Structure 1
């Protein structure tokens, strides 16, 4: 009888030990899995944070805008090449009342440009939009225009006087069949009153895209 009782107690002890061992094994496995998940979560969070920082760094940098008024399309062509070369945005200055071919006939004393040239009070040209979207984000601004009677075409004046160029580098450029850039850029700088205005560049009416691109690449824009 005592032997039977001893055998039963031995079996109970064996089963209890096995159960305890399995419980400890499962607990250890669970702890290992939890630690692994926490580690993976930490690494994932770290990776996400690093990616966010890298993305912010890659989107930081200067912003360039090419602003232009084009009467016949020549200045527009140069402006588009500048924008493509400098990876810049563009903004076209457009009068509320566009100039027609007849308006631009400077040989006719009664044409619109001739009347405006002879009477400076008539040069206040209303624009469809004076300030580009996100104007404050741009730190380099190209300003392009045709030359009219040795100065910048006056539809540009409303854009210049209507914006604050503080903290911006401003680079004028113009197109002309024969006239040079003259003092047109300096006069615009005086009109603006703010901004770091650079020397300008004159292009012929049929300037090649290579000539324009070479000029932009030589500016060492940041």
Structure 2
């Protein structure tokens, strides 16, 4: 009787171990970790087009770029908007002429310089009109208020005749960080099909 009882105990132990092993093997797999998937998707990053437009030309180009790249748009708006008379550079007494002649007057307050979820953007296009061979200074407040570390930054500008000049390089120096690519100037009446080859050439 003692020997038979011993055998029964052993059989019960074996059955118990087998059951535990089966339960362990049927537990949920961790090979597809949701945290890893989220991390991978966030690594792809997003694209943002930030722009200041005085007369609507830069806004139009910014829209073309956003449509082509699937980017979000962020318009920079002065707290004290420029009027048509303000933008008359031929008038020595106009606002832009005074600001051009007196650099300390170029500190233009913007309604907002903070982009929601800024850290999620890996690529940032910066658009502006050219004023006297440099980027229109309302853009400066945004550049100084944000950290471009780890971001690819691509300047673009619009003008009737002036080229890009040193505008992109001056903005890069003002930012102090970020991977700034060479910018591109577009004419005031540029068409969308003229912009597309440039975007494709960036290899984003």
With normalisation by structure 1, the TM-score equals 0.75
Q: Which residue of structure 1 lines up, in the alignment, with residue 10 of structure 2?
A: none
Aligned-pair distance for 1:57? Answer: 7.6
Deviation track 1:107-129 (CA, whole Å, cap 9, x = no partner) reads 01111000100100100000000
Shift of 1:51: 10
Alpha-carbon distance, 1:62 to partner: 2.3
SS in 1 for 2:171: helix
Judge which range, 52-61 or 211-220, deviates more: 52-61
CA distance in 2, matches of 1:88, 1:154: 24
Q: Deviations over 1:62-85 (max 9, x none)?
A: 211100000000000000110111
Q: In the aligned structure 1, how far is the partner of 2:35 from the partner of 2:151?
A: 27
Match of 1:131 among 86, 101, 114: 114
By how many angstroms is 1:149 displaced? 0.2
1:139 partner SS: strand
- What's the offset of the Cα at 1:136? 1.0
Q: Look up the match of 1:197.
A: 180
- Residue 147 of structure 1 corresponds to which residue in structure 2? 130
* Distance apart, 1:56 and its partner CA: 3.8
Alignment of 1:134-213 (within 5 A): 134-213=117-196
- After superposing on structure 2, the runs of 4+ consecutive aligned residues of structure 1 that deviate more than 2 Å are 49-60
Q: Does the Cα contact within 8 Å between 1:69 and 1:75 map onto a contact in 2? A: yes
- 2:69 maps to 86
Report how many aligned residue pairs link the two structures: 181
Structure-1 separation of matches of 2:40 and 2:191 = 32
Structure 2 partner of 1:101: 84
The structural deviation recorded for 1:218 is: 1.3
Give TM-score scaled by structure 2 length. 0.81
Residues 88 and 119 from structure 1, CA distance in 2 versus in 1: closer, same or farther, beyond 3 angstroms? Answer: same
Deviation per CA, 1:16-67: give whole Å up to 9, x if none.
xxxxxxxxxxxxxxxxxxxxxxxxxx79x66xx9595897488441211100
**Is there any run of 5+ residues in structure 1 with no aligned partner, and where?**
1-41
Larger Rg: 1
**Which one of 85, 95, 99 corresponds to residue 112 of structure 1?**
95
Aligned residues of 1:85 and 1:217 also touching (Cα < 8 A): no
Out of 179, 184, 201, the position equivalent to 1:218 is 201
Query: Does the 8 A contact of 1:169 with 1:197 survive in 2?
Result: yes
Q: 1:157 to 1:53 in 2, by over 3 A?
A: closer
